[in-house]
């Protein structure tokens, strides 16, 4: 959806039909049912919550829609700020002075492991479970929404995109394309073409808009007024473009005063280029609940490949064995059907768990994943009896 000053990317999951329905519901809410009061952040977050409620209820009411959901990244632009609401692994970027900065954080298993230092950037880029997301609209009755507000200025470019783009080409390459194309239309077409050339394993959504001063020395051409189509499943080989002038902020939205560095003009111009919000026809994305549960799922699959196996060799946790002795285990604290363990005994301390102060046991023996050094240092502290003092 690209109807300035509001821009939304929604990427459905749960199969082609269900994913299309989920993302369509989300877009409809942002087109017609946003809250009428509050700050831009609050209005966007309210829209996400309403969309989540409707998707969840629909999935519960219709058997064929069970489990459907969608990611969503929304941006609202006012005089000198862009407000963001975000759930899932679509992304928002700011391109300023030749530098690309990611504004959102992926809600995915791989990104979580990356943030915890369990995977390198190189391992994350090739991880077989990149499609597993940990937060989405629809699977749960409530959803946590990331929301932020960033200052923007003339000549800034904002990019909203689905993971169909970022899973195919690097951020460095995205920045190179934006640097080399003055035209946002050409930049959007090139990004989509390169993502397809790299494999195009998923539908690709790209929305670009640039802020330009009104009344400045460099007046932009009058943009073509074209409404963005409603979300529909599409082939990744096609493209469409939209370009619209931003209207003044919608009544009821509180906008912060522009800082001194903001453009002199109070109403910027947005140029939007890209394909319409699309839902995946070939999406094999899965949603899993909180990190502890989803790690178990991903490891079942990841152990098939070397990447998952190597990751498990670098993770440790504390627990107790059958005799109640504090033990360090290597791997993941889960059992598979058939009695298959995703862990092995690494070190048995000989220290009874009963000798640990009762107020300390829950935080020490909770199977929290740790590095080797962290687990080793902790078990030494326990063996030295320092926790009992």
Asked, for residue 56, whether it belongs to a domain, the answer is yes
CB 367 within 8 A of CB 357: no
> At a CB cut-off of 8 Å and minimum separation 6, what does 306 contact?
none
Residues 241 and 336 in one domain: no
Asked, for residue 102, whether it belongs to a domain, the answer is yes
CB 122 within 8 A of CB 56: no
Residues 39 and 80 in one domain: yes
Residues 283 and 319 in one domain: no
Domain that holds residue 333: 315-388
pLDDT of residue 340: 67
Residues 138 and 178 in one domain: yes
pLDDT of residue 339: 62
CB 240 within 8 A of CB 166: no
Q: How would you list the strands of the sheet with 81-87, edge to edge?
A: 2-3, 6-13, 69-77, 81-87, 146-151
pLDDT of residue 259: 32
Asked, for residue 143, whether it belongs to a domain, the answer is yes
Asked, for residue 254, whether it belongs to a domain, the answer is yes
pLDDT of residue 163: 92
pLDDT of residue 311: 52
Asked, for residue 307, whether it belongs to a domain, the answer is no
Residues 271 and 319 in one domain: no
Residues 130 and 170 in one domain: yes
Strands (E), the chain: 2-3, 6-13, 69-77, 81-87, 91-96, 99-102, 132-133, 146-151, 157-161, 206-210, 286-287, 316-320, 325-336, 340-352
Angle of helix 171-180 versus helix 184-197 axis, rounded to 10: 140
- Looking at the whole model, is its pTM more than 0.85? no
Residues 141 and 215 in one domain: yes
pLDDT of residue 313: 57
Residues 253 and 357 in one domain: no
Q: Are strands 81-87 and 91-96 parallel, antiparallel or unpaired?
A: unpaired
> At a CB cut-off of 8 Å and minimum separation 6, what does 94 contact?
82, 100, 101, 103, 150, 152, 156, 157, 158, 159
> What would you measure as the largest C-alpha separation in the chain, in angstroms?
79
pLDDT of residue 122: 81
Q: Of 158, 163, 354, 108, which Cα lies nearest the Cα of 268?
A: 158
CATH of the domain at 130: 3.60.40.10
Asked, for residue 294, whether it belongs to a domain, the answer is no
Residues 193 and 233 in one domain: yes
From first to last of its 389 residues, what are the pLDDT tens digits of the chain? Answer: 778 899 999 999 876 568 889 999 999 999 999 998 899 999 999 999 999 999 999 998 988 888 889 999 999 998 789 999 999 999 999 999 999 999 999 998 888 888 888 888 888 877 777 778 889 999 889 999 999 999 999 999 999 999 999 989 999 999 999 999 999 999 999 999 999 999 887 788 999 999 876 544 333 233 222 222 222 222 222 332 222 222 223 323 333 333 333 332 223 344 444 443 333 333 556 666 554 445 544 554 444 444 444 455 578 889 888 788 889 988 878 766 556 677 888 888 878 888 888 778 888 888 888 888 888 888 888 877 777 54
- Three-state DSSP at 138 gives coil
Phi then psi for residue 144, to 5 deg, are -85, 130
Residues 48 and 157 in one domain: yes
Asked, for residue 319, whether it belongs to a domain, the answer is yes
Residues 226 and 339 in one domain: no
Residues 62 and 164 in one domain: yes
What is the total count of domains within the chain?
A: 2
Asked, for residue 298, whether it belongs to a domain, the answer is no
């Amino acid at each position: 959806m690209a109807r300035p000053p509001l821009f939304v990317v929604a990427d459905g999951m749960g199969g082609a039909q269900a994913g299309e329905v989920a993302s369509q519901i989300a877009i409809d809410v942002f087109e017609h049912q946003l809250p009428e009061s509050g700050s831009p952040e609050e209005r966007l977050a309210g829209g996400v919550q309403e969309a989540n409620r409707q998707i969840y209820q629909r999935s519960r009411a219709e058997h064929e829609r069970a489990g459907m959901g969608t990611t969503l990244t929304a941006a609202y632009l006012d005089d000198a700020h862009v407000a963001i609401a975000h759930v899932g692994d679509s992304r928002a970027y700011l391109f300023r002075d030749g530098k690309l900065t990611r504004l959102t954080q992926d809600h995915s298993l791989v990104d979580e492991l990356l943030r915890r230092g369990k995977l390198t950037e190189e391992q994350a880029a090739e991880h077989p479970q990149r499609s597993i997301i940990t937060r989405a609209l629809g699977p749960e009755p409530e959803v946590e929404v990331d929301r932020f507000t960033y200052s923007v200025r003339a000549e800034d470019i904002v990019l909203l995109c689905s993971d169909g783009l970022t899973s195919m080409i690097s951020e460095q390459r995205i920045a190179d394309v934006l640097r080399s194309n003055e035209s946002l239309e050409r930049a959007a077409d090139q990004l989509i073409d390169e993502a397809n050339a790299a494999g195009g394993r998923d539908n690709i959504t790209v929305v670009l808009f640039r802020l330009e001063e009104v009344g400045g020395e460099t007046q932009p051409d009058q943009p073509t007024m074209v409404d963005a189509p409603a979300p529909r499943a599409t082939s990744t080989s096609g493209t469409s473009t939209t370009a619209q002038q931003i209207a003044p902020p919608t009544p009821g939205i509180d906008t912060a005063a522009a800082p001194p560095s903001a453009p002199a003009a109070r109403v910027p111009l947005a140029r939007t280029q890209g394909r319409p919000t699309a839902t995946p026809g070939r999406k094999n994305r899965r949603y899993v609940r909180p990190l502890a549960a989803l790690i178990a799922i991903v490891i079942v699959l990841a152990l098939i490949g070397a990447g998952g196996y190597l990751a498990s060799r670098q993770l440790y946790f504390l627990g107790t064995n059958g005799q109640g002795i504090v033990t360090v285990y290597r791997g993941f604290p889960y059992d598979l059907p058939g009695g298959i363990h995703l862990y092995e005994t690494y070190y048995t301390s000989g220290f009874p768990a009963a000798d640990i102060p009762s107020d300390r046991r829950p935080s020490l023996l909770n199977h929290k994943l740790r590095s080797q050094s962290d687990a080793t240092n902790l078990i030494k502290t326990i063996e030295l009896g320092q926790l009992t003092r």
